[in-house]
Amino acid sequence: MQTLTANEAKTQFGNLLLMAQREPVQINRNGKPVAVVISAQEYAEIDALKRQLLQAKLERAKQDIDHGRLTDGDDYFRQLMDE
């Protein structure tokens, strides 16, 4: 992954856009990563994957409900806090 400083990203914005079409570009400020610029196509692919994952979780939850596999919400959150 290419890396630019925030100042480089500002002064070389056109170049940043071209770079992001090939691969993600990390933007650093004061030596720390603050953003990653990706192409619109890559963003759409990531968004589609997130939607597929959510759809699969929803389907799994529906099956659990249909089969009576239910969890009390308070118990569930208590278990999360204990981990």
pTM of the model: 0.71
Residues 28 and 52 reside in one and the same domain: no
Query: What is the total count of domains within the chain?
Result: 2
What are 33-80's pLDDT values in tens digits? 999 999 999 999 999 999 999 999 999 989 989 998 888 888 888 888
> What stretches of the chain show up as alpha helix (H) in DSSP?
6-11, 13-22, 40-66, 73-82
Residues 77 and 58 in one domain: yes
* pLDDT on residue 73: 83
Q: Are residues 7 and 30 in the same domain?
A: yes
Give yes or no: residues 33 and 52 share one domain. Answer: no
Structural domain range at position 75? 41-82
**Same domain membership, residue 20 and residue 49:** no
Cα–Cα dist 28/37, whole Å: 11
